[in-house]
C-alpha cells in the first residue's frame, strides 16, 4: 500500500497535457534521501534513457532540495514546462523548470504554506494537470493526522485557488452515498473530460504512512484506518456526485484512452483486487471487483499500476514479492493475467512508454515501509517488452550511486526551445503529440 504509488507513467498523464509518443530522452526520478547515503537529502535525479546517447542508462544530473520531506509523487503542468513534486511529511511542494534545459532541471519555487492555505490538508500526493491548474490530492489533515482530507487546487504559477473536501457521512457535500462508506479519505485523482468526470481514491493518514510498516501491521487500530472509497466528482463544478464502496485501500487510478472506453481501473492494497470503475448503460458510474492479484490471502500488496495506451494491458506491481504482473484487459470486466515476473526484492512504481515497448521500475514505497537489510534494494530498471517477455536493458543501483530511495518517475524530452538554447542535435528531439 503506498502513498507511493500514483502516478508514474506517460499513459497515466493528464489528457490535457502533451504526451511523449516517441522515444523519451530522460527519466526524472523523485528520490527520498537516506541517512548515511550521499548528502542524505531528497532530490530530483535525471537519467539519460535515449539509446542513441553516449550517456544512455546513466545519471546525468541530481538536484537536492534540502532535508528529507518524504519525497513521493510529481506531475507536470499542462504545458509540460514545470514539474511539481511533493513531500508527504513536510507538506512542501517543489516546482522544477524542466523545459529550459531538460537535462538539468532547475528548482524555481517552493510552496511551504500548503497546509495553512488549504485550510488544514496534509500530505500533498498526486499533482495532476488541468487546464492552467494543478489539482493536488491530500492524504491527511492537521487536526488529527487521520485520513480525512481533500483536493487542493492551484494555478500553474503556484497560487492557491480552492480546497474541495472529500465527502463524509457527516458532510456528504451533496454526494450520494451508495454503500457502507463515506470516509473522506484521499489518494489519487484522474479525469475523463468527455464524461465531465473526475475520480479520487483513498488511502490512509499521516499517523499511518509515517509509522514503521511492521509496527503498523501489528496495530489493530492502525489497520482500521484505511480508506474504502472511490468518489465520482463533477469535473467542471468540482462537486462530489457519488461515493462508491471500494474496500481495501484503493490506490492508483488509471483511466482508459479509447474514445468510447468510459472506465478506469484501480487496485486495492489490502485485499489485492483489481476494481473497474465504469459507466453503465444508464449513464451511472459503478464499481466492481473484476480480478484477484496473486494470492490475496498472502497480501502481496499491490502498489503502482500502468495502463497501456491501447487499453489492452494493465501492469500491476506488488511490493512484498517484488513482482510485476501483466493483465489482458481487452475485456475490462474480465482481466486475465498473462505474465508474472520478479523485478527485485521489492518493487513499487512502473512507468510505461506510450508505445508500450519500454517499462521502467523503481523500488521505494515509503521511507518507513521499505524493507530492511539486504532486501532494501533501491534502483531504477528499464525493461523492454515485446508482447511476450520482459528483458532488462539497464539497472542503476541508487544506494551504490549515493542517491537514496528511488520512488516516482516522469519522462522528459528535448523541446525545440531547449534544443535551440543548448544546441542539441535534431535526432534527440522527441515527438510530442496532444
pLDDT at res. 10: 85
Q: What is the pTM of this model?
A: 0.94
Distance between CA atoms of residues 187 and 138, nearest Å: 7
| Residue range 282-288: mean pLDDT, rounded | 98
| Residue range 20-28: mean pLDDT, rounded | 93
Reference 277, options 242, 312, 309; nearest CA is 242
Distance between CA atoms of residues 166 and 120, nearest Å: 13
% of the chain residues with pLDDT over 70:
93
Q: Is the pLDDT of residue 422 over 70?
A: no
pLDDT at res. 22: 87
Q: Which residues contact 350 (CB under 8 A, 6 or more apart)?
A: 8, 9, 304, 305, 306, 315, 317, 324, 359, 360, 361
| Residue range 3-21: mean pLDDT, rounded | 71
Kindly report the average pLDDT of the chain as a whole number: 93
Q: For residues 255 and 244, is the Cβ–Cβ distance under 8 A?
A: no
| Residue range 388-413: mean pLDDT, rounded | 97
Enter the C-alpha cell of residue 176: 450520494
| CATH ID of 10-433, from 2.60.40.1930, 2.130.10.10, 1.10.1040.10, 3.40.1280.10 | 2.130.10.10
Higher pLDDT, 430 or 76: 76
Q: For residues 408 and 250, is the Cβ–Cβ distance under 8 A?
A: no
Among the residue ranges 23-37, 119-133, 206-220, 420-434, the one predicted with the least confidence is: 420-434
Q: For residues 29 and 409, is the Cβ–Cβ distance under 8 A?
A: yes
Give the H or E element holding residue 252. Answer: strand 250-255
pLDDT in tens, 317-369: 999 999 999 999 999 999 999 999 999 999 999 999 999 999 999 999 999 99
Reference 430, options 263, 192, 419; nearest CA is 419
pLDDT at res. 275: 98
Quickly state the pLDDT bin for 109 (edges 50, 70, 90). Answer: very high
Distance between CA atoms of residues 34 and 32, nearest Å: 6
Structure letter (DSSP) for residue 162: E
Q: For residues 337 and 318, is the Cβ–Cβ distance under 8 A?
A: no
Distance between CA atoms of residues 288 and 269, nearest Å: 16
pLDDT at res. 420: 36
Quickly state the pLDDT bin for 431 (edges 50, 70, 90). Answer: very low
| Residue range 172-201: mean pLDDT, rounded | 98
pLDDT at res. 421: 42
* Cα distances (Å, whole numbers) of residue 63 to 37, 46, 336: 15, 9, 41
Distance between CA atoms of residues 214 and 375, nearest Å: 15
Q: For residues 56 and 49, is the Cβ–Cβ distance under 8 A?
A: yes
pLDDT at res. 383: 98
pLDDT at res. 418: 44
Boundaries of every domain in the chain: 10-433
Amino acid at each position: 500500500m503506498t502513498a507511493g504509488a500514483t502516478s508514474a507513467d506517460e499513459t497515466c498523464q493528464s489528457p490535457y497535457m502533451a504526451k511523449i509518443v516517441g522515444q523519451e530522452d530522460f527519466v526524472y526520478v523523485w528520490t527520498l534521501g537516506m541517512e548515511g547515503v550521499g548528502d542524505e537529502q531528497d532530490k530530483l535525479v535525471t537519467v539519460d534513457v535515449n539509446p542513441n546517447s553516449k550517456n544512455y542508462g546513466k545519471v546525468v544530473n541530481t538536484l537536492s532540495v534540502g532535508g528529507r520531506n518524504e519525497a513521493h509523487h510529481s506531475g507536470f503542468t499542462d504545458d509540460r514546462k514545470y514539474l511539481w513534486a511533493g513531500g508527504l511529511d513536510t507538506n512542501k511542494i517543489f516546482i522544477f523548470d524542466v523545459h529550459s534545459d531538460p537535462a538539468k532541471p532547475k528548482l524555481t519555487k517552493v510552496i511551504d504554506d500548503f497546509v495553512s492555505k488549504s485550510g488544514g490538508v496534509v500530505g500533498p500526493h498526486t499533482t495532476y494537470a488541468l487546464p492552467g491548474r494543478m489539482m493536488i490530492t491530500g492524504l491527511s489533515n492537521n487536526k488529527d493526522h487521520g485520513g480525512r482530507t481533500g483536493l487542493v487546487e492551484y494555478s500553474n504559477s503556484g497560487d492557491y485557488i480552492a480546497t474541495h473536501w472529500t465527502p463524509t457521512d457527516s458532510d456528504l457535500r451533496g454526494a450520494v452515498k451508495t454503500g457502507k462508506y463515506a470516509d473522506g479519505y484521499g489518494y489519487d485523482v484522474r479525469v475523463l473530460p468527455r464524461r465531465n468526470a473526475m475520480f479520487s481514491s483513498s488511502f490512509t493518514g499521516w499517523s499511518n504512512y509515517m509509522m514503521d510498516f511492521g509496527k503498523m501491521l501489528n496495530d489493530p487500530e492502525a489497520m482500521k484506518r484505511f480508506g474504502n472509497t472511490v468518489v465520482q466528482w463533477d469535473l467542471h463544478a468540482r462537486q462530489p456526485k457519488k461515493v462508491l464502496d471500494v474496500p481495501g485501500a484503493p490506490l492508483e487510478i488509471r483511466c482508459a484512452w479509447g474514445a468510447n472506453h468510459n472506465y478506469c481501473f484501480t487496485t486495492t492494497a489490502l485485499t489485492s483486487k483489481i476494481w473497474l470503475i465504469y459507466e453503465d448503460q444508464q449513464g451511472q458510474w459503478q464499481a466492481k471487483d473484476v480480478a484477484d492479484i496473486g494470492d490475496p490471502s498472502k497480501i502481496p500488496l499491490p502498489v503502482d499500476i500502468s495502463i497501456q495506451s491501447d487499453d489492452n494491458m494493465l501492469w500491476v506491481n506488488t511490493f512484498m514479492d517484488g513482482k510485476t504482473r501483466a493483465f489482458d484487459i481487452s475485456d475490462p470486466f474480465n482481466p486475465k493475467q498473462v505474465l508474472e515476473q520478479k523485478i527485485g526484492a521489492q518493487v513499487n512504481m512502473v512507468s510505461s512508454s506510450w508505445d508500450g515497448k519500454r517499462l521502467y521500475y523503481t523500488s521505494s514505497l515509503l521511507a518507513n515501509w521499505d524493507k530492511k537489510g539486504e532486501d532494501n534494494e533501491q534502483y531504477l530498471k528499464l525493461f523492454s517488452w515485446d508482447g511476450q517477455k520482459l528483458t532488462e536493458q539497464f539497472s542503476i543501483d541508487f544506494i551504490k550511486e549515493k542517491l537514496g530511495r528511488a520512488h516516482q518517475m516522469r519522462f522528459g524530452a528535448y523541446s525545440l526551445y531547449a534544443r535551440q538554447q543548448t544546441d542539441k542535435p535534431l535526432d534527440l528531439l522527441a515527438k510530442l503529440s496532444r
